[in-house]
Structure 1
Amino acid sequence: MADFISIRYVGERLMQCKDLPDALLLDVIQDAERYATLRDVHDGLADRIGPVPWNLVLAKLRGLIARGLVDGCACGCAGGFTVVAPDALVNAA
Structure 2
Amino acid sequence: MIIDAFNIPDGTVIDSEICIVGGGAAGITLAKEFMGTSHHVCLLESGGLEEPEELTKVLSDGENLGLSYSKHVRSCRSLGGNTNF
TM range (shorter): under 0.3
TM-score, normalised relative to structure 1: 0.26
Give the structure with higher Rg (CA).
2
TM-score, normalised relative to structure 2: 0.27
